[in-house]
Chain A
Amino acid sequence: MDSWVFATDERQWGGMLAAARHLGGHVTVVVVGSRALADAVALAGPDEVRWVSAAEDVPPEAYAAAVADLAAPTRPRVLVSSAEPAARVVLGVVAARIGAAVVPGMLDLAASDGDVVVSRAAIGGEVVETLVAEGPVAVVFVGDAVDGGAPAPAAVVEQAAVAIDLRVVGTEPVGSATGVADAARVVAFGRGVRAKTDVALIQQLADVLDAELACSMPIADDLGWLAKERYVGRSGQHISPQLYLAVGIGGAPQHLEGVRDAKVVAAINSDPEARIFRTADYGIVGDLYEVVPALIEALGH
């Protein structure tokens, strides 16, 4: 079953390609963005990369109808995008054009007797639902990051595409730059930290790890203990550090969305049932006020 994957940014295409590969058909990636992005996607080894060169002041959404013009004649069975706003708009517009169903929360795809079987996260990730689409289906991928890389990169073919009347008229940095966005290591804390004065303890842990300090949304939004640029989550920072250490963070889905691309997640929480332990690679169950000093000590050796 042939699929088209839409990439408008550097997020998630490794996982999207891996899922599309499970269908066994031809995988075409449409990259709307820079040549560098198209080349990077080509290295991950789809069958074909079609590149729509987006002008600097034109957002990818402006090419959605043009991408539909490219995709529709090939009658793709499956369309895939990440949850990023621009990619989703391209997906929705192409889906409407070809009359595809649209299923969010895709974790994996399979082909079965001519049907597309979509495994998707539902009820905030509490369950995995199996859906069957008899016709064309568009899916929003939310699965795990998969490293790309293939023996033979695909050729990148530039496509002529006309943008609709939509443009970027202003871009400004949000707040002060903090370094959280591209730090290799991030230590974040949540409501498990009881008082503002205790933030110094977490900062100390971040310092010995040579990590940036971050937090969950309530710490920045409700309590104001850290600058808003330092909170990680759905409406905050989306980060991809090598190490994410969550201290006293329960692990609400909104928070975890911000660290989906982290390589290793470790967590300290007093509750062995804490949701964060379902996502973390490693966890220490214990009182953070005992564990953090012990960890600082252990890291000193």
Chain B
Amino acid sequence: MKVVIVYKWARDDANAAVRADGAVDWRGAKMTAGEDDPAALAVAKQVAESSGGTVVGLTIGDGDASWALARGVEEAFSVTDAPPLADNAATARIIAAAVQRIGDVDVVVMGDSKQDPGVGPAVAGYLGWTALAGLVSASFADGRIAAVRRSGTEQQTMSAAPPVVLGVAAEADVDKTPGMKELLAARKRALTTWSMADLGLAVVDVQSRGTRKPEVVAAKLFEGEPAASAAQLVAALRADGVL
């Protein structure tokens, strides 16, 4: 099985500054590994290992492609001029086109990003593949992918025939910072770069008419002596009928 791990495909909101008027300044932030990327990489490796297959990396945009190469992935591809887009479908179209160009791919694994939750499902839509999201683990057996999803109350195992797109949501931070040896090895690993034009893609996006601070319906705050505040809160909750 050929497994593609898609990584560093969006910017991190933490790198954006929100100004007082609600305008967003990205301060030149580059595409970066999302909080779900390490968990997705672990799942990609697990699927490849259990199927006797390989993992190849795919990244888009201006981030450093060596992230996956320094974490045990032997070969990676990068669509270097893919811009950050508000339209998750437009991002998905770029990823899907690159997956098709890589060729013979059975499984695509990517982080099920909180910021851009529509990308993974739309990648599957464009490829015409099965999609599963919100996963915590996956492996391969008897020609099928077994994928596990967990809610607060139950854990569900699903069985799908490849090709599939798997969206992995991190439950904890599992990233290990690579050591010098891995970083040096990453430099020798194969990185193929493409432009959007190479893939026959043009940039399309929805138009933004700007950003603003949300209208906050402020909480009714009780700030006096603890006893008085407590009595006021209890009265308010009784009035709302929740006590």
Contacts and interface: CB of A to CB of B under 8 A. Distances in A.
Nearest to A142: B117
Given A96-B122, A123-B24, A132-B209, A171 B221 contact: no
B206 interface: yes
- Please classify how large the interface on chain A is, using the bins under 10, 10 to 19, 20 to 34, 35 or more: 35 or more
Interface in B199-223: 205-214, 216, 218-223
A160 B147 CA distance: 27
Of the listed residues A64, A85, A257, the one surrounded by the most CB atoms of chain B closer than 10 A to its CB is A85
Nearest to B146: A169
A286 B131 CA distance: 47
B124 interface: yes
B134 A104 contact: no
Contacts of A129: 86, 208, 210-211
A149 interface: no
A93 interface: yes
A61 B132 contact: yes
Contacts of A104: 88, 115-118
A198 interface: no
Given A122-B13, A263-B242, 7 more contacts: A103-B86, A127-B24, A129-B210, A166-B130, A166-B161, A297-B230, A298-B234
Contact of B206 (A133, A165, A181, A238): A133
Interface in B106-132: 112, 114-126, 130-132
B223 A285 contact: yes
22 contacts: A84-B134, A85-B112, A85-B167, A88-B121, A89-B124, A89-B132, A92-B121, A92-B124, A93-B124, A96-B122, A103-B118, A127-B22, A138-B89, A171-B154, A171-B156, A174-B150, A234-B114, A243-B242, A279-B219, A284-B229, A284-B230, A293-B226
Interface string A160-190: 0000111111111110010011000100000
Given A283-B221, A285-B223, A101 B90 contact: yes
Interface of B: 13, 16, 18, 22, 24, 86-90, 92, 112, 114-126, 130-135, 146, 149-161, 167, 169-172, 205-214, 216, 218-223, 226-227, 229-231, 233-234, 236-237, 240, 242-243
Nearest to B209: A130
Contacts of B86: 103, 129, 131
Contact of A91 (B118, B151, B223, B227): B118
B213 A127 contact: yes
B121 A91 contact: yes
Contacts, number: 276
Nearest to B85: A101
Contacts of B132: 59, 61, 85, 89, 166
Of the listed residues B13, B22, B156, B206, the one surrounded by the most CB atoms of chain A closer than 10 A to its CB is B206
Contact of A85 (B16, B133, B171, B242): B133
Of the listed residues B18, B117, B132, the one surrounded by the most CB atoms of chain A closer than 10 A to its CB is B117
Interface in A235-252: 235-239, 242-243
Contacts of B116: 104
Nearest to B169: A235
Contacts of A68: 125
